[in-house]
């Protein structure tokens, strides 16, 4: 969506704060031995207490309040009872929701407890690349150039990107134009970011895979060549200068 009034900006600020605070608290709440369902129920209760409704449930009838992916899962992981967290797991939580007709999206990967699998460098690269990408976004910038930046920075760090997952417009629904803010360069995409538009920017930085494949459960995405993937995501408002990071309170960069 494009912000045209102070009321719309306030609406986006409120839902963005709700999903960001939920993500932050879920990350702090996660412990070894906990099930993904327990963490999801915690997040669902928090969204409800803030008056927000789970976006994946509303939009896709997803079987959970949030998406929780562990280790080799990239995204859309099911928050089930048999998914039990262990020390050193790479966990990704994606929280998106609706409040008063406004929608926002954010996510982040982190290591649970001690980094016994030595994946913190991957997580750090994803964070840093997202920060660099967001800092380059303003009205008039080509979307393809941001994809090129993400892919180039990933390669410099010794990683790859998932080429068939992307950031997107958001605001009056979960997915809006622009529908594909890729992590790679698409020379055919001449679309530019528009001032006052709301977009969800996300990284998918990988150790081995370059494409995401869907599992038999119809939801979970895994890499085509295995390995691990770290994802970080903010909902932002594009301006003539530095973007306004609406989900900043999730502290995914800390």
Q: In this predicted structure, what is the pLDDT of residue 56? A: 97
Q: In this predicted structure, what is the pLDDT of residue 4? A: 97
Q: Does 43 map to a domain?
A: yes
Q: How many separate domains does the chain show? A: 1
Distance from chain centroid for Cα 200? 8
Q: Does 127 map to a domain?
A: yes
Q: Does 40 map to a domain?
A: yes
Structure-token pair, residue 43: 């997040």
Query: How far is it, in rounded angstroms, from Cα 19 to Cα 210?
Result: 28
Query: How far is it, in rounded angstroms, from Cα 46 to Cα 27?
Result: 13
The answer to whether 213 is a known ligand-binding residue is no
Domain that holds residue 126: 6-250
- The CATH number of residue 239's host domain is 3.90.230.10
Q: What is the 3-state secondary structure (H, E, C) of the chain?
A: CECCCHHHHHHHHHHHHHHHHHHHHHHHHCCCCCEHHHHHHHHHHHHHHCCCEEHHHHHHCCCCCCEEEECCEEECCCCCCCCECCCCCEEEEEEEEEECCEEEEEEEEEECCCCCCCCHHHHHHHHHHHHHHHHCCCCCCEHHHHHHHHHHHHHHCCCEECCCCEEEECCCCCCEEEEEEECCCCCCCCCECCCCEEEEEEEEEECCCCCEEECCCCCCEEECCCCCEEEEEEEEECCCCCCEECCHHHCCCC
- Do residues 44 and 65 touch, judged by C-beta distance below 8 A? yes
- Do residues 84 and 33 touch, judged by C-beta distance below 8 A? yes
Q: What's the longest Cα–Cα distance across the chain?
A: 49
Q: Does 230 map to a domain?
A: yes
Predicted model pTM: 0.97
Q: Does 154 map to a domain?
A: yes
Q: In this predicted structure, what is the pLDDT of residue 228? A: 98
Q: Does 66 map to a domain?
A: yes
CB-hemisphere CA count at 13 Å for 131? 11
Q: In this predicted structure, what is the pLDDT of residue 227? A: 97
Q: In this predicted structure, what is the pLDDT of residue 172? A: 97
- Do residues 246 and 234 touch, judged by C-beta distance below 8 A? yes
- Phi and psi at residue 145, in whole multiples of 5°? -70, -30
The answer to whether 81 is a known ligand-binding residue is no
The answer to whether 233 is a known ligand-binding residue is yes
Ordered per-residue pLDDT tens for the chain, 254 residues: 999 999 999 999 999 999 999 999 999 999 999 999 999 999 999 999 999 999 999 999 999 999 999 999 999 999 999 999 999 999 999 999 999 999 999 999 999 999 999 999 999 999 999 999 999 999 999 999 999 999 999 999 999 999 999 999 999 999 999 999 999 999 999 999 999 999 999 999 999 999 999 999 999 999 999 999 999 999 999 999 999 999 999 999 98
161: β partners: 205
Q: Does 1 map to a domain?
A: no
The answer to whether 232 is a known ligand-binding residue is no
Query: How far is it, in rounded angstroms, from Cα 124 to Cα 87?
Result: 18
Beta strand 229-237 with 244-245 is antiparallel
The answer to whether 29 is a known ligand-binding residue is no
The answer to whether 179 is a known ligand-binding residue is no
The answer to whether 76 is a known ligand-binding residue is yes
Q: Does 115 map to a domain?
A: yes
């Amino acid at each position: 969506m494009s912000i045209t009034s102070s009321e719309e900006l306030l609406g986006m600020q409120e839902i963005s704060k709700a999903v960001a605070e939920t993500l932050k608290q879920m990350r702090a709440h996660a412990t070894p031995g906990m099930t993904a369902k327990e963490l999801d129920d915690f997040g669902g209760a928090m969204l409800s207490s803030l008056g927000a409704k789970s976006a994946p449930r509303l939009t896709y009838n997803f079987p959970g309040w949030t998406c929780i992916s562990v280790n080799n899962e990239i995204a859309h992981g099911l928050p089930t009872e048999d998914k039990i967290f262990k020390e050193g797991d790479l966990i990704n939580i994606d929280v998106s929701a609706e409040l008063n007709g406004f929608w926002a999206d954010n996510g982040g990967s982190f290591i649970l407890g001690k980094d016994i699998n030595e994946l913190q460098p991957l997580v750090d690269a994803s964070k840093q690349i997202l920060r660099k990408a967001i800092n380059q976004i303003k009205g008039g910038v080509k979307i393809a150039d941001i994809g090129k930046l993400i892919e180039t920075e990933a390669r410099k760090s010794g990683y790859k990107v998932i080429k068939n997952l992307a950031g997107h417009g958001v605001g009056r629904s979960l997915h809006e134009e622009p529908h594909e803010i890729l992590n790679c360069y698409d020379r055919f995409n001449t679309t530019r970011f528009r001032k006052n538009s709301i977009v969800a920017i996300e990284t998918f930085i990988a150790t081995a895979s370059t494409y995401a494949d869907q599992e038999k459960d119809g939801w979970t995405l895994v890499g085509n060549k295995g390995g691990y993937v770290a994802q970080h995501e903010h909902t932002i408002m594009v301006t003539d200068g530095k973007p306004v990071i609406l989900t900043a309170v999730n502290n995914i960069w800390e």
